[in-house]
Amino acid sequence: MPYTRFSKLTEMIDFNDNDSMLPRTDPNYGKLHKIRPLIDHINQTSNKSYNTSKTVSVDESMIPFSERSSFIQYMPMKPIKRGFKVWCLSDSSTGYVVKSEVYTGKARDGSKNPLGARVVLNLVSNILGVGYLIAFDNFFTSVNLVEELLDKGIYSVGTVRNNRKGLPEMMKAKEKTKRGDFNNRITKGISAIKYGQETSHNVDVSFQSYGNCRDHSETERWISASYILSNYDPGL
């Protein structure tokens, strides 16, 4: 296709009604208004066209882009350093992206949830059901998020930063742990595990079936902790 024709087509193509666009000062203003119907259609089609397994993961992806945009992200430690950041909900078995959302900057909706929790809850809304397992890394994991997912019947597993609110004291302690050592606390169906590898490895997990582990022997706890950790890496 000639460049001139391609340029004309891109100038004329339109996915949304510009007259319905909210002013920039409105809290509900969307930077992706002009292509929102296209994004929604892709997400709906992706969801309808594929039956996901019971294990999914949430993570970020980068689309390279070096032109001007108000929501370009620069991440020097990533393979793709500059571009659009996209949050993705993917099937852990195949990598199929079930739903995605472009990150456009700080939200103005007044939500008190941290960014990681908002991303996960938005991606799983109207898609997942009871019995699913979501894996994510320590950017997303928080006690409040794990509790909210568990209330919806959705299990989760992920590493957690030791400065998150609501963690037991043993997760915050900085003493060195030997390889193979572990410690855990269980409450309300949520298990917090500190597992010794080359460095301390904190995992925050919600498995409702582990809620009664507080009465089990140390051997049975070890089996539970090993099983949870074995589910984390394949999940991502």
Worst-scoring range by mean pLDDT, 21-25, 56-60, 195-199, 208-212? 208-212
Q: Is the pLDDT of residue 99 over 70?
A: yes
Per-residue pLDDT band at 88 (split at 50, 70, 90):
very high
Tell me what pLDDT residue 204 has. Answer: 54
Stretch 219-226: mean pLDDT: 41
Stretch 178-207: mean pLDDT: 68
Tell me what pLDDT residue 85 has. Answer: 94
CA 140 – CA 132 distance, rounded (Å):
17
Q: Is the pLDDT of residue 170 over 80?
A: no
The pLDDT > 90 percentage for the chain reads: 25
CATH topology for the 3-231 domain: Transposase Inhibitor Protein From Tn5; Chain A, domain 1 (3.90.350)
Tell me what pLDDT residue 236 has. Answer: 57
List the beta bridge partners of residue 187: 190
Per-residue pLDDT band at 215 (split at 50, 70, 90):
very low
Per-residue pLDDT band at 43 (split at 50, 70, 90):
very high
pLDDT in tens, 146-157: 888 888 888 888
Identify the residue with better confidence: 88 or 160. Answer: 88
